[in-house]
Amino acid sequence: IGSCHVEFPVMLAPMAGVSDLAFRILCHRQGAGLVCTEMVSAKGLYYKDKKTASLMETDKTEDIVAIQIFGSDPKIMAEIAPRVEETGVSFIDINMGCPTPKIVNNGDGSALMKNPDLAGEIVYNVKKAVSVPVTVKIRKGWQEDTAVGMAKILEEGGASAISVHGRTKEQFYSGKADWDVIKNVKNAVKIPVVGNGDIVDVHSAENMLNATGCDFIMVGRGALGAPWIFKQINEYFDSGIILPNPPIEER
């Protein structure tokens, strides 16, 4: 991804209120090849909110770590991007997939799926402002599938990789993730594509890779209460062995 070499194909998804520093370190120790912070408000950084800035805290033991930012003003996003880069982060991820009302009602998150030209402008401006790779996380669409068109615009804007969650904004986290969408995006762009949605064990991880041809997979809710899922997936890909869940003492 850009200049970053990710050894393992399994990443920890950014999750608001979940992927804080302690959880990310734990998942990295268990084999997550890349970890990402919970989403950080660009406006919060712009107006120097201390609580917002604290979400960017990282640790050298995390190895490859991304900071995810969200917002819909290209100028503000570009202005705060160098500050994010100064933390020593491996790359910057832009959230264009969050479906929660307080985010989309401000035109942020998955609301940008309805305005792909603005989304492309945001990526272009952030990319110009920093030297680290810039990636984007999107969904299948708002109400219908618009992921391929969106992905092409983001690639043209300078995105180094795209993560695709196979659900629409309207689905939120219900129903089944559409892996065909991820496959279609993979076939439509030249940059790496990360598949996200319904990866809960080694078999679903393997099925995701086989069904979509994606370059990496991203585990979100499947890691809640079970950070060892990364170790299990890595071992399965490496040797075909399915490791048991750790004993209660290790947990």
Non-local CB neighbours of 113 within 8 Å, separated by 6+ positions: 96, 97, 119, 138, 139, 141, 142, 146, 150, 169
Q: Is the dihedral of CA 37, 175, 141, 4 positive or negative?
A: positive
Residue 85 in 3-state DSSP?
helix
Q: Check if the beta carbon of residue 94 is closer than 8 Å to that of residue 137.
A: yes
Is 36 noted as a catalytic residue in this protein?
no
Region for 92 from its dihedrals, namely left if φ exceeds 0, alpha if ψ lies in -120 to 50, beta otherwise? beta
β-sheet bridge partners, residue 40: 69
Residue 106 in 3-state DSSP?
coil
Residue 163 in 3-state DSSP?
strand
Q: Choose the catalytic residue: 4, 27, 36, 98.
A: 98
CA distance 187 to 144: 19
CA distance 185 to 26: 31
**Active-site residue set:** 98
